[in-house]
Structure 1
Amino acid sequence: KTLIEVILISFSLILIINLFEEINFLKDQDVSGYYPIFLSLLNAPSIIFDILPFIFLVSTLWFFIKLINKNELSIFKYTGITNNKILGIVVVFSFIIGLFLIFGYYTFSSKLKSQYLLKKNQFTSDDKYLAVITENGLWIRDEVNETTNIINADKINNNLLINVSIVQFDKNFNLLQIIESEEVNIKSKKWKINNPFITKKNATDKLESVNLNSNFDIEIINNLFSNLSSMSLMQLSKLKKDYSKLGYSTVGIKVYENKIF
């Protein structure tokens, strides 16, 4: 009962705080007045999961304070229930609840978080840009000055994309050219393509280097894959395998998995 009370209080506070944030985000959008509440409800469960250690701590303290104030510890002693037994019951109860929260509640909250991000992304201007990691490496769809670039890289090594293929299309999706390179520096949004092979109109030229303007750099790409709370445990495991194949650091995922457990 104490745990439920603390969760409800925390949920209410998070909902109110998050509601102001969503109202501010949607202030220039033509949406229903209930939409910020809807977004807040989608986001709140994942925030609750993030602060569960704090919730458990407060609940335990509150539970024992209630026992002391009502002098129930003395009553338990008279009935043969020692402090160690009470503590053991609390530990076992916490363990069972913890298993449910990890394998049940977390899956539920991650799905809501995923829907929250999808709904919120509808109101951003990033729909022309997309980056995903698959078993075939990193894929990026990037639009700059009415030119669409479809980019594939086998690996990421520090600020470099390794074994890169860039297919460029005009605004009508007619093929412009294909750029292939073993190494592309993406430290800034002005990419430096080293020793590229450029195929255009059935002719291939090799250059020493060429620059390519992009909406992405290494920092933006890193941030795109940092929202792990919208993924289930199975999705995290798959993403970790894809990261390993790509040569991408899996430290962030491992840290997040440890945080969950």
Structure 2
Amino acid sequence: MPLDDAPLDDMTPDATTADATTTAAGPRGRTAVVTGASSGIGAATARRLAADGFDVVLAARREDRIRALAEEVGGRAVVCDVTDDASVAALAREVGGCAVLVANAGGAVGMDAVVDADVEDWRWMYDVNVLGTLRVVKAFVPALVASGDGHVVVMSSTAGRIVYEGGGGYTAAKHGTTALAETLRLELLGQPVRVSEIAPGMVATEEFSTKRFHGDAEAAAKVYEGVAEPLVAEDVADCVSFVVTRPPHVDVDLLVVKPLAQAAQHRVHREG
């Protein structure tokens, strides 16, 4: 099962500008905003994009974490809660110009059957995964268009395409995230903004499953039990790096990435 924050002007990308800011190592001097950057996939993505040459803005709620990471990678830390309209608006104002938005903030809570579901858990998952993505997209699309070569990367999940028992709330939310990304791509047609969706399968990060099981580390560990090599956050960060460093005319719509041990949601090889 999968494990895992005004009308547009008619603009076209300026090829000369794009060529001048792109090198073999990646775009230089371009700003990339990563939400949910305090841990896991978000933190790994911030590190990777900084290494690629982006000016990275790390956005998350935990100020101590993002400030330490920003110092490490030479980026900027901005405290932001993607479930709060004012907080997202303040992030966009502080960042200003932006070429890449990685809408990574998200999460899962609970493994209850639908008939036993905690409505507040479902509400939280919808707010952070779907509405959180919506808020940051609305806030940053004007700047992405103005950049002449913008890119929205939506961090979804294989849960956004296939359901599984106990995952009703998370799969519903991630299906919503996928629908948002696909609709946004249609609506931005003709604008200089690419939209990519990254859909990871089984990823072992330090917090995702622990949060899902309400802090029960033993239950969280069982998710990966017997799986020799689940994905790690850096594997997903590699995928983000790949899609955002393609030439401006190349849009990777969807990149699904799973560990070798995972053939499908319910088909995972476990040793022993």
Alignment TM-score, normalising by the size of structure 2: 0.23
Greater C-alpha Rg: 1
Q: Which has the higher contact order (CA 8 A, sep 6+)?
A: 2
Alignment TM-score, normalising by the size of structure 1: 0.24
Bigger proportion of residues as strand = 1
